[in-house]
Amino acid sequence: MSEHGRYDAIVAGAGHNGLTAACYLQKAGLRTLVVEKNDWIGGAAVSRSLTPGWTYSNCSYVCSLLRREIVRDLDLPRFGLQVIPYEGGGSFTRDGRHFGYYADPAQLRRELRRHSPRDADAYQRYSRTILRQCRFIRPFLLRPAPDPLSARPRDLGELAFLLKRAHGLGSRELGETIRFWTASIGDFLDEHFESDLVKAHLAGSGIIGTGLGVYSPGTAYVLLHHYMGDVDGAIGAWGFARGGMGAISNALAAAFEEAGGTIRTGAGVEEILVDDGKVTGLALSDGAEFRAPIVASNMDVKRTILRHTPRAALPEDYLRAVERFKIRGSSAKLNIALDGMPEFPAAPPGASFLRGDLHCSESLRELERAYDDWKRGRWSDEPYFDMLIPSQIDPTMAPPGKHMMTVFIQYAPYELEAEGLRAAGNWTPERRQAMAETVLDKIEVACPDIRRRIHHMEIRSPKELEDEVGLTEGNIFQGELTFDQLLFNRPVPGYARYDTPVKGLYIVGSSAHPGGGVMAAPGANAAREILHRIGRAGNMPDLAA
Amino acid sequence: MSARYDAVVVGGGHNGLVAAATLARAGRRVCVLERADRLGGMAAGGAFPDGTPMPRIAHLLYNLSPAVLNELGFGAGGPVETRALPTVCLDPEGRHVVVRDGSPVLADGRPHPEAEAYRRLAARLVRFGGLLARLADAPPPQVSERLADLAGMRRLGPLAALGWDFRKLGRGDRREFLRIVLSNAHDVILDELSDGPLAGSLAADAVRGAWAGPRAPGTVFSLMYRLARGGGAALPLGGMDAVIAALADRARSLGAALRTGAEVTEVRVEGDRACGVRLADGEEIAAGAVLVATAPGAAMRLAGPAHYDIEAVRRLRNMRAKGTAAKLNLRLDGLPEVPGLGPELLGGRLLLAPSVEQVERAFDPVKYGRVSEAPVIEAVIPSLTDPQAAPHGGHVLSAIVQYVPHAPEGGWTGAARDRLRDVALAALETALPGLSARVTAAETLTPSDIEAATGAPGGHWHHGELSLDQLLTVRPVNGMARYRFGPAGHYLCGAGAHPGGDVMGAPGRNAARVALADATAGEAAA
């Protein structure tokens, strides 16, 4: 006998956005159920123990974008969330040089001068611009996207907010903002700096998670998308969630359950049930069926609509729009259990930046080439990676004296080319291993003893990310962050308010505005929209205020 | 000291000529100074060793501004007689596609399987391009510090006109415009068409002259820019030289003086006001205004960086202009027999861009200073359409070859140049077998040669990349978008200014109108 039940709202997928939406719906008085296909919750914000004694943040791995308004409002620290800032980062070269991106301004300036006195001066200008752009964009994150084509009073209000902010910049600054939003990170850095290594170090954030190269227009915005967060109010700072990224999901889940919500794991969505243009509930893969007039999908828009919603319930042009929504797998990951701290012979002894993000890319050219490989369906010969050893700061991640390393890899295609064919099925264990060896070879540039230190290693191609987490093509943002898929175009033009043509069905994950990253803004914004549509907007605090 | 003019125009390319004619038509005394021995800049012609005219750099017309034609009294027919050319998308496999009036058919006459999808896409892009063209005939919109004042409102005028046209689009079109306007050509094309020569040709049109592959966001904008006047391409009878001659005649008949071999080395500035120019031979010409048709960086250097604030200097120095288009001009003693392509099709605009993917792949090497081994080519054989193109018999083939770096690794040695010619010929040979055997003379112009001949930085034919961060309100750079360029009385009227390059004439016309408005205001105040 399969399980049945009736709720006011069901959230499909227990990722951080789904859980955030669930918290707000439940707290607004809706009996809410969260269903999750995996036996664990968290989506891509998880802590997993794959070898005894070690914890991996095996998908997302650092925290900054999580909106502090949400952290405060849901009182997540009370449920165990603790974000520990980490300091700076560094890049290493094959010929034994390094660049330390120190958090201390004076030290950073000295380090920049060591590479180029001119760059040390340019950095002031650069960081001022970035900070200004962050300040400009942050107020938009917890509001729906302004839609220039809607005449609804609420949309006009958002548009007026945008115009007011834009006009407030003044014409000169507005021009700079337009340039920044449309520039490539490569061109932007070339305008400021002369040192290849400094440029390569700063460029990484412009490409992480995207199917774009450092010289693709729009990547300066992607950089911003990684910088617009904060840790304890320090804009642009990054930190580790103590106990791994799962701590975020666990805190959200605990807040949800304390408010009276229910989480059910182990069975995913089979079908979103629709009757007469209205959503009526969910059928799950284990045969269970739950009824609710509201279904909030944390799955990406393609998965939600194309796999789980009856085609007949949707207009043709909407289906077309979802089909052409671009979700491109471009990243892979290594999660490594180390039986000791690897050596970084090129770094000054005890360098604080080793506790930050480490890279071995030497020039923008090298980064662009890595992108060219991806376009041809191959993993990069000289991949960019973002490598961290969080156990230096958070001892809960590994046994005493041991360490945990997370290596985010760009680029790795979802459809791997092999024998003239591009297919996700080409990601055989052998090829996955070969990709890992390519990455390890490059890590040896920074730590020659890395291979000897490996106790256990998990290799995740875009295919595994898709299979396990459910992210289409393993794309970490649930959709490319390009102009045609941002703001009022995200995820589908005309449906940027988290809604769909099916009444009661909402998209609440990173496919929706403002997009990916462990930010929780789409989930919170979607909850507000849902509550507004059922006349209960007053039951949710105004986070944007 | 020679005569005093109301205005001098530095640079006798088509924009300089249009600016001069526009000023002269308003009764101003104006003089054009061109460094080279012939007028025309990028549109100037040349000659093969046997005297046959050579379409040196530019070879087709597709974007002439109707406002320019109208105001200079050319009428809708344009300054010279033209012939519309079909576009022929060459296929190495022999399944060539012919596009006439936005409709594709296979070269053997059979219907193209994706004709309907292509028609829809092309028509939409042309429609959207027409919308953008509204912005071309006025200075770019600008948000004033004080929205409330009248001048500030007027600066938003073009935007209001655009908004009006925009409203007339259907709701679906409006949504689609806002979705794709900042998008990349690769996605927008391949969302509608399967990859092949037809899709590839559209992608090639999106990136012609650009330092960008079709995957780069912003390439849909450049495609719309190109299609703004309907998407057709026309061959001017008598070549681009005839276009230049007609513009020059018109300027002259309106009273403008045109001088060649007159190199301006300095724009003279007194009391933060441009007051004339100095030539290489020391001659000084006094003028109430100076309009400069060179690239923005060069225009700044003529007046002297001291007259620009440090931010402006920095921005101008950072303006991107990396040309990627080379020219190959061939003198042929006859035409090869190409199966499936009769003389009528061979006389079309021949596009060698076998797929969107291959256009993107052709772009990759140029990023690292190398020439593409499988270049994308736009070729025309004007002598098949225009008897004046090869008066001594035989034929002429003019090819734009992409992607070619401005500064390759190792520099443009003789060997590198020969290699470029061979690579381009080999590529043409794949679709036009037997072509090489017909070549009696060849001229290869690298982006670096084009820079030397015309002064365009990087040999870039738009005087600066036509990318989203260098368009409209921020073209050429932020804060200098409305043609006034540094000191009072100094104006930028070349392709580096809004709306940009191509043989369009809009920057020249718009800048001249701003200069005229300023002069009138000055006279009223005095």
User: From the list B182, B361, B479, which residue is nearest A483 (CB)?
Assistant: B182
Q: Is the pLDDT of residue A513 over 60?
A: yes
Q: What are the pLDDT digits (tens) for A469-481?
A: 999 999 999 999 9
Contacts of B48 (CB under 8 A, 6+ apart): B54, B329, B331, B396, B441, B443
DSSP labels, A246-308: HHHHHHHHHHHHHTT-EEEES--EEEEEEETTEEEEEEETTS-EEE-S-EEE-S-HHIIIIIH
The pLDDT score that the predictor gives to residue A167 is 86
Q: Is residue B142 part of a domain?
A: no
Residue A496 with chain B: CB contacts under 8 Å: none
Instruction: Report CA-CA distances (Å) from A246 to A80, A297, A466.
Output: 11, 20, 18
Contacts of A132 in chain B (CB under 8 A): none
Among A174, A324, A326, the residue with its CB nearest the CB of B143 is A174
What are the sequence ranges of the domains in chain A? 4-45+65-83+242-325+480-539
Is the minimum CB–CB distance between A182 and chain B shorter than 8 Å? yes
Give strand pairing partners of B90.
none
Whole-number percent of chain A with pLDDT over 90 = 92
A140 touches chain B (CB under 8 A): no
Kindly list the residues from chain A whose CB atom is less than 8 angstroms away from the CB atom of residue B147: 167
Provide ipTM, 2 decimals. Answer: 0.95
Q: A369, B187: Cβ pair inside 8 Å?
A: no
Rounded CA separation A417/B46 (Å): 48
pLDDT < 70: residue spans in chain B = 1-3, 143-156
Q: Do B187 and A149 touch (CB under 8 A)?
A: no
pLDDT in tens, A182-232: 999 999 999 999 999 999 999 999 999 999 999 999 999 999 988 888 887
Q: What residues in A contact B467, CB-CB < 8 Å?
A: 182, 217
User: Which member of B183, B360, B468 has the closest CB to residue A375?
Assistant: B360
Which of B317, B36, B384, B159 is closest to A192 using CA atoms? Answer: B317
| Structural domain includes residue B19 | yes
A166, A175, A368 ranked by CB distance to B479: nearest: A175
Please give the mean pLDDT across all residues of chain A: 95
Residue to mutate among B175, B207, B320, with most A CBs inside 10 A, is: B175
Number of domains in chain B: 1
The whole-angstrom separation of Cα A387 and Cα B475 is 39
Q: In which domain, by residue range, is B274 found?
A: 4-44+66-75+239-319+456-525
Q: Which residues of B touch A165 (CB under 8 A)?
A: none
The total of other beta-carbon atoms located within 10 Å of residue A336's CB is 26
pLDDT score of B147: 52
From residue B52, alpha-carbon distances to B48, B49, B60, B436, B438 in Å are 5, 7, 18, 19, 16
Digit-coded pLDDT (tens) for B118-141:
999 999 999 999 998 888 988 888
Tens digits of residue pLDDT in A79-124: 999 999 988 999 999 999 999 999 999 999 999 999 999 999 999 9
* B238 to A228, B15, B233, B252, B407: CA distances (angstroms): 58, 20, 15, 20, 33
Residue A455 sits at the vertex; the CA angle it makes with A452 and A456, to the nearest 5 degrees, is: 125
Topology at the third CATH level for domain A4-45+65-83+242-325+480-539: FAD/NAD(P)-binding domain (3.50.50)
Q: Which DSSP symbol is given to B393? A: S
Residue B203, C-beta contacts closer than 8 angstroms, at least 6 positions apart: B185, B186, B189, B214, B219, B353, B356, B359, B360
Q: Tell me which residue of A83, A512, A81 sits closest to A297, measured CA to CA.
A: A512
pLDDT for B141:
80
Q: Which helix (H) or strand (E) holds A507?
A: strand A505-507
Nearest C-alpha in A relative to B211: A215
Residue B144, in any domain of the structure: no
pLDDT in tens, A361-411: 999 999 999 999 999 999 999 999 999 999 999 999 999 999 999 999 999
Average pLDDT, stretch A504-512?
98
Q: A20-47: string of b/e by CB count within 10 Å (b at 16+)?
A: bbbbbbbbbebbbbbbbbbeebbbbbbb
Task: Report the C-alpha gap between B19 and B464 in whole angstroms.
Answer: 20
Antiparallel, parallel or unpaired: β A32-36 and A9-12? parallel
Cβ–Cβ gap A175/B473 under 8 Å: yes
